[in-house]
Amino acid sequence: MLFFSFFKTLVNHEVTVELKNDISIRGTLKSVDQYLNIKLDDITVVDELKYPHLSSVKNVFIRGSVVRYVHLPAAAVDTPLLEDATRREASQASAKAKQG
């Protein structure tokens, strides 16, 4: 759930999504869901001529399972906060494991 929440904080930022079939799509992150399916607006495709089927497309819904990387704007990421959240989630998970 952490990365789902994390991506929610990046809504309306420019990101580049690299897919497992090597297509890179840059656009404004509009939405993300629990599977990390991603919706991008106003897209531009890196190396567009190689992928002519995307040239008349303005916004895309990308299935989470086909994403290889998401390139993020460094300025929009609060790294200490993310580290903190990771530790909190890990400690919660281990506390739960001890209880159960």
Partner 1 sequence: MENLNLHDAAPRPLSSMQNQMPPGPPPVPQLPPQMFTTAAQLLDLTDKKLMVSLRDGRKLIGVLRSWDQFGNLVLQSTVERLFVQHLYADIERGLFLVRGENVLLLGEIDLDKDDYVPEPYELAPVERVFALKKAEDAERGRVEKRRQRTLAGYGFEGEHAGEAIL
What residues line the site for partner 1 (CB under 8 A)? Answer: 4, 8-9, 11, 19-21, 31-35, 37, 39, 43, 48-49, 52-63, 65-66, 81, 84-85, 88, 91-92
Closest approach of partner 1 to the CB of residue 5, in Å: 8
Closest approach of partner 1 to the CB of residue 34, in Å: 7
Which residues neighbour 31 within 8 Å (Cβ) at sequence distance 6 or greater?
Answer: 11, 38, 39
For 52-60, which contacts have Cβ atoms below 8 Å and span 24 or more sequence positions? 54/23, 54/25, 59/27, 59/30, 60/25, 60/27
Closest approach of partner 1 to the CB of residue 7, in Å: 9
